[in-house]
Structure 1
Amino acid sequence: MKKLSKKELAMNRIEKHIDLFQCPVCHETMSADDSKLTCQNRHMFDLAKQGYINMVQQSKKTQYDQSLFEARQRLIQSGFYNQLMIQIESLLQSRNTDFLLDAGCGEGSHLAQILDTVDHQLGVGVDIAKEGIQTAAKTYENAQWIVGDLANTPFTDKAFDAIINILSPSNYQEFTRLIKDSGIVIKVVPGPNYLKELREQIFAGTNQEGYSNEETVARFKQFFHLTHRENVYDEVTLTEGQFHDLIQMTPLTQGIDLSSINFVEPITLDLEILVGKK
């Protein structure tokens, strides 16, 4: 039997779950045929040959390029965030996760790993950065990848059983619309010692050398009832190549000459997982 292309696999997946999609322009229902999604007002979105869909009307330039996402993918695949993944998967495995959204999925590695261990009907990764979605679609076939705006996602109300948002900006109004009444939102935020070895080099002697996530947690609690909060702590030894991937992909080094950052080990992984319900 002929192996289906990524585009054919994606089309089959979308046709099966077309009721989850709505037009991001006029919010009408959509139909899927001839390798595109179309609403009744004739707004049309083509499926790329790699299997992703760009559902942003006007392309938005981000500060992230292809090399950053490739570095992020290599670092995640090396196991840097394995302890985080173990804890998220444990939280999801006791729940209904038929429809799972990774909001701000980047290059897709977190969602792809979760979908390998958690029962589901459909996993969707959305990010505004086309370069990230292209990298995800090139590597992973177990999810539907979409270029989309988190402030205006192309999905119907109450479409998802779980939304995950890992070290990424959020739009809580949209998350509230998208999550089922019985669903959960899982947000991962840095802890006070996250990547402290980099902070000590980059922000030495400034007020940015320390970090508190309490303002971020307080905002999450404005929109969701915080049902669970747990810490992820690990000290990870990296090779010099992995360290270079880390400093290339983290926002901490934006605008910094990477050659000025000295290799150090181990690196502190200090994160908090917030679980919220409506």
Structure 2
Amino acid sequence: MKGLEGVRVALLEGRMTDELATLVRRHGGEPHCVPAVREQQSVSGEEEVAALLGVLVQESSPVVVLSTGVGVEALFQAAERLGRKSELLERLHRATLVCRGPKPHAALRKEGLEPSIRVKEPYTTEAIIEALAPLDLEGRCVVLLHYGERNLPLLQALAGRRARIQETLLYEWKLPEDLGPLQSLVQEIIERRVGAIAFTSQVQVRHLFQVASEQGRAEALISALRNDTVVAAVGPTCASALEASGVTPHVVPERPKMGAMIVSLARFISEAGASRESKA
């Protein structure tokens, strides 16, 4: 299927840019890569991991929620720099490991660990809460290895269950140091020079609209995305962020995967084109 033939598709993904661009080209599209997120490692990462180990050594059956593959990798890297990686592995072997999605699972497997509980698709906060539902958490230590920001709804849910919460945040989501490409993308979307845009995380949505707001062009961006640019979101969390910004995505795949998103986007554009031709 070449449903994206001739369509310029803006991609805001940062870590897997080449893979996503290849998928767009495979379907005949022209990828326009403008990463919207920079992952900045915490300067206190080793201190965070040392504090975490200090907690784990006192707990006989902690629950460890692993929200991100990047975070898992950063966790083991910091422990290795401290000379305490074997200690971390020993403690995690004794813990109930709750894994959100395939990326943290893959990072765990590299270290010889397997999750005790796998969060189900679409890997939302609600899915994490559902995965934790069978566990008795009152008074139990629950370690949250966050993604690039604190997950406040998950924290509130755990507090409501009277868990003892230990937070670990080893990297943060930041805007790119050079905002020029994002500013130019806002202009291109408003001028209808982008046929489609694909979002793979909620923070990409927030950053794009933050840049547009700082330019005084948020309303113009919303209008273009509503009326002239096909908008794809990789999953429901990303779609909710778009809706909160005033844009309902045209494409949200059944499975929250980049490949499924691009296939769905190509199908949507192909069917839209066929519909226009039949009416003509």
Greater length-normalized contact order (CA 8 Å, ≥ 6 residues apart): 2
Same fold (TM over 0.5): no
Q: TM-score, normalised by structure 1?
A: 0.35
Higher helix share: 2
Q: Which one has the bigger strand percentage?
A: 1
